[in-house]
Amino acid sequence: MKQIQPHIIIEDDRKYVLGELKGNKISYDFERILNYLADKGQQEYGTLFKIHDQDRDILFKLCNYFIKDEANCVRLNMDLNKGILLSGPVGCGKTSLMKLLRLIVPHQKPYRIIPARNVVFGFNHLGYKTIEDYGDSHYVCFDDLGVEPLGRYYGKDCNVMGEIILSRYELFLNHKVKTHITTNLNAQELEERYGKRVRSRMRELFNLIAFETASKDKRR
């Protein structure tokens, strides 16, 4: 990916201008960002990918968060220091959006997207080193939190993702390291799965952005 300025993205023979530079500040255009996301989504997921009208409010929040529009984020009650917890029913587009949104800000520190179940599989193989490894300063998006099995290493059970969230909370407090999460679970289900302590930390770690429970499965 070739880049001239943060708001201008050049890929092969395509040029995407996501806004205008005014002084030393970028004024992003939401419609241009949506067009870019739609184009990139079709390149990544096929021609059936589209930006749905019912998702515009969700995307407006997410885009303002990623471009760090402080005024809009204050108005939308979002804290730019926190990560994103994106929740919603199966197939509503959480994972694909988190993969695409990082592309609109190529000048920012990127985050890796890691399925929560893969983390647990790693724990089952390597043990507690897996939890320690996610205590580093990398930005991470844990995908599909809540579908992973309980970890088990040498006969001992462990709620692996719960422990990792606690570890990431310490990173957030001490080093301002961000964590993002996608999940199909609601707040009550998260508390039932990971406990009150983890749920309490999650309130401090994340901006909660939720799709409507009636959002359709876009993979059908």
What's the pLDDT tens digit per position in 80-131? 999 999 999 998 999 999 999 999 999 898 999 999 999 999 999 999 999 9
For the chain, give the DSSP string: -EEEETTEEEETTEEEE-EEEETTEEEE-HHHHHHHHHHHHHHHH-TT----GGGHHHHHHHHHHHTT-HHHHHHTT--TTSEEEEE-STTSSHHHHHHHHGGG-TTSPPEEEEEHHHHHHHHHHHTTHHHHHTTSS-EEEEEEET-SPPEEETTEEE-HHHHHHHHHHHHHHHH---EEEEES--HHHHHHHH-HHHHHHHHHHEEEEE--TT---TT-
What is the average pLDDT value for the chain, to the nearest integer? 93
The confidence score (pLDDT) of residue 137 equals 79
The confidence score (pLDDT) of residue 192 equals 96
CATH topology of domain 2-210: Rossmann fold (3.40.50)
- This prediction has a pTM of 0.93
